[in-house]
Each structure stands twice: as structure tokens, then as C-alpha cells.
Amino acid sequence: MEATIANFRMSRHRQKVNHMILHVPGVDNKAKAEKLVGKAVSWKSPAGKEIKGKIASAHGNSGAVRAIFETGMPGQSLTTKVKVA
């Protein structure tokens, strides 16, 4: 299954560089999003480096999920695909 990186997790004054908001196709409500919690995700950079993480929680009521990666994500990862296992 693939998901799209929508944005960093942000607050008013800070941006958390290893927390990302993901949109998964076919997941359109909070109940479906909560079933994905705990699944592993991985993003592959254009250089071939792989950054792994896992889905931590649902984000909002429209089916988005929050993933926490092991290291900070680069800005070029926005709008790219991640694999959900």
C-alpha cells in the first residue's frame, strides 16, 4: 500500500522534522485511519537512502495519519510516496 506525504507536523512556532502527515488512498474517515496505527512506513530518497518509521495515530477526521520517522525528513520528501507495510 502507498501513501502520500502531505506535510510536516507543525504547531504555531515549530515544525517537527521527523513527524509527517500522510494521506492514504481509500482511507476517508477516522475509524479507517485508526486501523493503520502501528504499521511500518518507509520512504526512499532519490539517492537510494531509505528512512523508516511507523504510523503513530490518526490526524483529524478526514482519514489522514501521522507517521514518526527515525530521522528528520528532507523538504524534498513532500508530495512523494511512502510504502506502508
Kindly report the pTM of this predicted structure.
0.91
pLDDT of residue 82: 98
pLDDT of residue 84: 97
The three-state secondary structure class of 76 is helix
Domain that holds residue 65: 2-84
pLDDT of residue 4: 98
Nearest to 67 by CA among 46, 36, 28: 36
Q: What would the mean pLDDT of 59-83 be, rounded to a whole number?
A: 96
The count of domains in the chain is: 1
For 8-63, write each residue's pLDDT tens digit: 999 999 999 999 999 999 999 999 999 999 999 999 999 999 999 999 999 999 99
CATH number for the domain spanning 7: value is 2.40.10.190
* H helix or E strand, kind and range, residue 47: none
